[in-house]
Structure 1
Amino acid sequence: MNAARDLHPEQLRALLHFYADAGVDWLLEEEPVDRIAEFEAMRAARGASAPRETAPVPQQQLGRQAPARQEQPRPALPAPMPNVAIPDSQAVAEAESAAAGARTLEDLRTAMEAFNGCNLKTSARCLVFAEGNAKPSVMVVGAMPNADDDRDGLPFSGRQGAMLDRMLAGIGLARADLMLTNVVPWRPPGNRPPSQREADICRPFIERQIALAEPNHLLILGNFAARFLLRSNDTIHQLRGEWREIDVSGRKVPAFATLHPQDLMTSPISKRLAWQDLLAFRAGLGG
């Protein structure tokens, strides 16, 4: 087994990311350490170094004692500087400017890679950009990358991706013919839901993706993506199974929401609802 000191920095970084994704939060040392004995030794050392009690000063010597030194007040420490961050409104404006300047999907990817206004980028391993047909008839939009997506740099990787492939194959669609993407392109720590401010910062990027790809139909997966793109406070169970329209850069795009692959993995009984939705979605595509 290789020791950590024998690994290249990139190899060590990848290994630590793997441990973090696997839920490891404590590493063992190469040699066993008796922490109980270590603690007892530290306590014994503190006891040995404790100052001994001094004998009382005779009463006749009290008058000759030097006056006690008055401790001078210590100057107050300066207050810590607050963390400097881009204000939300400024970050949204910068995202809008960066997105509007992109004339192609590749331009947009470059702009998003250079964008530093969203705090999610600092904790994610990489940008997870759209994948698939650059001019698709159907564009599939999920919520955010998971650990597999963040590792591979591709949307809908791992088990969720395999589930989505089966969902699409059931209605005669293949991943290669579609464009797959997420509302938020960076994985939030611990797969937590993105905050409202994070979603607002990412909105210009996903809307520009849709505008540049010009899909004929949108298939929206899951509660977060449906509420975000349809601008609704309803739940996915209220939004699913019906055709709606969203306005992207002045263009009306038919949109259809259903359950996310993760929903089906968590609650297999929901597959029945998803299958009903997919049949209705396929019927709405025509042809």
Structure 2
Amino acid sequence: MSVNALRQYLEFLKNSGIKELYYPPSDKQKKLTELQKQYSTCTKCPLHNSRRKFVYGEGNPNAIAMLIGEGPGEQEDITGRPFVGAAGQLLEKMLSAINLQRSDVYITNIVKCRPPGNRNPESEERKACLPYLLEQIQIIQPKILLILGLVAAQTLLNNNNTLGWHRGKIHYFMDIPAFVTYHPSALLRNQEWKKPAWIDLQEFQKEYEKLLAATIS
């Protein structure tokens, strides 16, 4: 299914009064596992030519929060798991700082195959992979998104604005509140960005805890 076709389908559901598709909790992981296997041989864009493994995503299928980066790196390409290299280790520390663990959230990327040399994924590559992400969101039904990095922010929010423009405000994607902060790999290269990233995380934490309390009650 093309990106436009999937968007039209989602718009049709919305106009029909259907705000979300229901998957029983026990079925979500099963469905995600099936789709990961189904898409693992994807050849929709040139990235498949150099990939070792298709990096679909992982985490809690019933998560309130979904974290979305731009694409796999070298270690992710080797293991088939998102955010397991140095950036992944930093991401786990970032989550811990706001009282979350990796097992509390679902983590994925805009593109599921590593761009050569860790370059930014090109527009057509992002478009080819976007239906997979939209499908993941429909299955998991997160209540909040944390978007990691400029490429992911520009792709999901459909603009060419700077990271500074995206930060410090609540956006919405598929009617889900979304926060934007630095990608962990950028923080590894630029230590001075860790302080503003911490501010972003605290704002995300406030909204997350509101949603968690509402879910529990």
Q: TM-score range by the shorter chain?
A: 0.7 to 0.9
Q: 2:49 aligns with which of 94, 103, 122?
A: 122
In structure 1, the residue matched to 2:104 is: 177
Task: Give SS of 2:40's match.
Answer: helix
Question: Secondary structure of 2:145's match?
Answer: strand
Bigger relative contact order, structure 1 or 2 (CA pairs below 8 A, ≥6 apart): 2
After TM superposition, list the pairs within 5 Å mapping 1:141-152 onto structure 2. 141-152=68-79
Q: Which has the larger radius of gyration?
A: 1
Separation in structure 2 between the aligned mates of residue 133 and residue 115 of structure 1, nearest angstrom: 24
* Equivalent-residue separation in structure 2 for 1:241 and 1:149 (angstroms): 29
Q: Distance in 1 between matches of 2:197 and 2:75?
A: 23
1:48 counterpart residue number: none
From 105, 125, 128, the counterpart of 1:198? 125
Displacement of 1:261 after TM fit?
0.5
Equivalent residue runs for 1:191-230 within 5 Å? 191-230=118-157
Aligned-residue CA RMSD (Å): 2.0
2:40 counterpart (90, 103, 113): 113
SS at structure 2 position matched to 1:274: helix
Q: Which amino acid in structure 2 is aligned with residue 212 of structure 1?
A: I
Partner of 1:278: 201
Amino acid at match of 2:87: Q
Identity percentage over the alignment? 37
The 1-side partners of 2:49 and 2:195 are apart by 39
Structure ranking higher in helix proportion: 2
Which ranges of structure 1 fall in alignment gaps of 5 or more residues?
1-90
Structure 1 residue 255 displacement after superposition? 0.8
Task: Summarize the alignment of residues 48-87 of structure 1 with structure 2, pairs less than 5 Å apart.
Answer: none
The equivalent residue for 2:115 is: 188
Measure, in 1, the Cα distance between the counterparts of 2:176 and 2:201.
18
- Letter of the 2:143 partner, please give it: N
Q: Distance in 2 between matches of 1:195 and 1:281?
A: 28
4+ runs of 1 displaced by more than 3 Å?
none
Q: Please say if residues 259 and 274 of structure 1, whose CA atoms lie closer than 8 Å, have aligned partners that are also in contact.
A: yes
C-alpha deviation, 1:92, in angstroms: 4.1
Determine if contact 1:140/1:219 at 8 Å carries over to the other structure: yes
2:80 is aligned, of 153, 161, 177, to: 153
Residue equivalent to 2:183: 260
How many aligned residue pairs are there? Answer: 188
* Structure 2 letter corresponding to 1:266: R
* Residue number in structure 1 paired with 2:158: 231
C-alpha distance in structure 2 between counterparts of 1:159 and 1:113, whole Å:
24
Gaps of 5+ in 2: 11-27
1:108–1:209 CA contact under 8 A, matched in 2:
no
**Is 1:142–1:181's contact at 8 Å kept on the other side of the alignment?**
yes
In the alignment, the residues of structure 1 paired with residue 67 and residue 44 of structure 2 have an alpha-carbon distance, to the nearest angstrom, of: 26
TM-score, length-scaled by structure 1? 0.62
